[in-house]
């Protein structure tokens, strides 16, 4: 099938809820993807961190194929022989006592919201129906009706109301403002340690620690959404580890399956997770044998290949090189990053045009918020390949003149 035909079919029969770059991908391997004509591209988005282990990692593919030919789904009406090992492994890696498996990131966030509310009523003693959860401005936690209801991005919220009550926005990165917003009915705080869709916004040093302390003082649960930042992306297994600010609830997804199957989960200690009882929450596919096999293999790759350490080392070098190349550039506001989660922010909304031009030189990156380009290659990328991609990308990122192209973002 030609690229033009594939795009035409998508436009004819698909909903118009994305505006992808005009490239049609047909194959992936490691840090590379190939279009229908066989042209090779550096993947600098990694499916928003879902393919941190690289495209079609052979160990994860092998686990998928072997399990798919044995048993794929039982539902949670019965036990299966793979889920327990997956739960134990995630608990060991995360350091939490309990794990509740789901499928998508948004499902896992919704699970966390339900847990915080029920904990507030049953353990904190907040009057029924009054629970409040604080969220940050610029957040992105998914696309469900409840979640978009507490977003402040108009494209996510317009004509999807009325919003679900019980949520209040506070400034991201301002621990004092968050602490001041905690009231008698506040049961939880939901944050991304680094805002990915918000533009790789990194809070000030000490922010996570101060938020952790404020929640502890007020007997409020702290939940970190690490769907995009977790599992090595920022140079640690989890982004909260940069400050040692352990949350009460941890939401994971994306790289949990190496990009081969949708898997997510909520991690928490028993004092929180015990709020769920039979019939109170569930998922037909959550914890299925296929998901469990893929997750175990994906975690093996993360640990055995030391991908968090690779992210820290290569990300630090890439950030230093980008800052050196773009320092003083009149169009560039800031170059920032942590591990292999890097952003170039412009003064004007030209990021969409930059993404198109990067595509032209075989580097696939993604714009967000109109003024930010994200650079997030798979954590398995070789250093010489990373440098080769930067050789191609830097002249584009540093181009002096460029017309604004603030069309719709292709967000998650």
Beta strands 186-191 and 132-136 are parallel
Tell me the mean pLDDT in the region 380-403. 92
Tokens of 371: 């003024």
pLDDT tens sequence across 261-290: 999 999 999 999 999 999 999 999 999 999
Tokens of 211: 């938020």
pLDDT for 101 equals: 98
Strand order in the sheet with 186-191: 98-102, 264-268, 249-252, 221-225, 186-191, 132-136, 167-170
Distances in whole angstroms, Cα of residue 308 to Cα of each of 142, 233, 234, 239, 304 = 25, 7, 7, 10, 10
Distance CA 345, CA 348 (A): 9
pLDDT tens sequence across 22-60: 999 999 999 999 999 999 999 999 999 999 999 999 999
How would you label 151-190 residue by residue, b for 16+ Cβ within 10 Å and e otherwise?
bebeebeeeeeeeeebbeebebbbbeebbebbeeebbbbb
> By the 8 A CB rule, do 382 and 42 touch?
no
pLDDT of residue 408 exceeding 60, the answer is no
pTM flag (> 0.85): yes
Positions annotated as catalytic residues are: 140, 225, 254
pLDDT of residue 137 exceeding 90, the answer is yes
pLDDT for 1 equals: 85
Higher per-residue pLDDT: 396 or 407: 396
Judge if the upstream peptide bond of residue 162 is cis by omega within 30 degrees of 0. Answer: yes
Distance CA 19, CA 15 (A): 11
pLDDT for 368 equals: 95
> By the 8 A CB rule, do 203 and 170 touch?
no
pLDDT of residue 403 exceeding 90, the answer is no
**Closest listed residue to residue 245, CA positions, set 206, 187, 302, 280:** 206
- Which domains are delineated in the chain? 3-56+308-397 (3.90.1150.10), 58-131+201-304 (3.40.640.10)
Tell me the mean pLDDT in the region 229-250. 98
pLDDT tens sequence across 302-337: 999 999 999 999 999 999 999 999 999 999 999 999
Tokens of 278: 């039979």
pLDDT for 412 equals: 74
Distance CA 242, CA 161 (A): 37
pLDDT for 236 equals: 98
pLDDT of residue 406 exceeding 60, the answer is no
pLDDT for 250 equals: 99
**Closest listed residue to residue 298, CA positions, set 324, 261, 328, 335:** 261
Distances in whole angstroms, Cα of residue 361 to Cα of each of 20, 48, 365, 371, 392 = 17, 20, 11, 20, 6
> How open is the CA angle 201-376-7, to the nearest 5 degrees?
110
């Amino acid at each position: 099938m030609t690229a033009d035909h594939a795009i035409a079919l998508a436009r004819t029969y698909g909903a118009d809820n994305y505006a992808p770059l005009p490239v049609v991908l047909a194959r992936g391997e490691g840090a590379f993807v190939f279009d229908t004509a066989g042209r090779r591209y550096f993947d600098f988005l990694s499916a928003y961190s879902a393919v941190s282990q690289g495209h079609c990692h052979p160990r994860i593919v092998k686990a998928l194929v072997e399990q798919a030919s044995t048993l794929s789904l039982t539902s949670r009406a019965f036990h299966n022989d793979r889920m327990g090992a997956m739960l134990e492994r995630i608990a060991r890696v995360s350091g939490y006592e309990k794990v509740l498996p789901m499928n998508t990131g948004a499902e896992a966030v919704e699970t966390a919201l339900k847990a915080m509310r029920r904990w507030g009523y049953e353990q904190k003693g907040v009057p029924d129906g009054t629970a409040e959860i604080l969220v940050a401005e610029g957040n992105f936690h998914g696309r469900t009706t409840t979640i978009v209801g507490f977003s402040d991005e108009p494209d996510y919220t317009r004509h999807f109301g009325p919003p679900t009550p019980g949520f209040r926005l506070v400034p991201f990165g301002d621990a004092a403002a968050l602490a001041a917003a905690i009231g008698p009915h506040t049961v939880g705080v939901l944050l991304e340690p680094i805002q990915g869709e918000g533009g790789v916004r990194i809070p000030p040093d000490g922010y996570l620690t101060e938020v952790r302390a404020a929640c502890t003082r007020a007997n409020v649960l702290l939940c970190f959404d690490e769907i995009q930042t977790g599992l090595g992306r920022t140079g640690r297994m989890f982004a909260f580890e940069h400050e040692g600010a352990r949350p009460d609830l941890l939401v994971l997804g994306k790289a949990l399956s190496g990009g081969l199957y949708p898997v997510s989960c909520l991690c928490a200690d028993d004092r929180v997770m015990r709020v769920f009882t039979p019939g109170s929450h569930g998922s037909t596919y959550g914890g299925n044998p296929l998901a469990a096999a893929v997750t175990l293999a994906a975690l093996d790759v993360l640990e055995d290949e030391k991908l968090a350490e690779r992210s820290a080392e290569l990300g630090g070098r890439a950030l230093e090189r980008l800052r050196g190349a773009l320092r003083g550039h009149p169009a560039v506001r800031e170059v920032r990053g942590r591990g292999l989660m890097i952003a170039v922010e412009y003064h004007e909304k030209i990021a969409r045009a930059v993404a198109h031009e990067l595509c032209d030189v075989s580097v696939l990156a993604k714009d967000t918020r109109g003024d930010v380009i994200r650079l997030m290659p798979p954590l398995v990328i070789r250093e010489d390949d990373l440098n080769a991609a930067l050789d191609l990308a830097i002249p584009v990122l540093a181009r002096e003149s460029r017309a604004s192209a603030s069309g719709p973002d292709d967000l998650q």
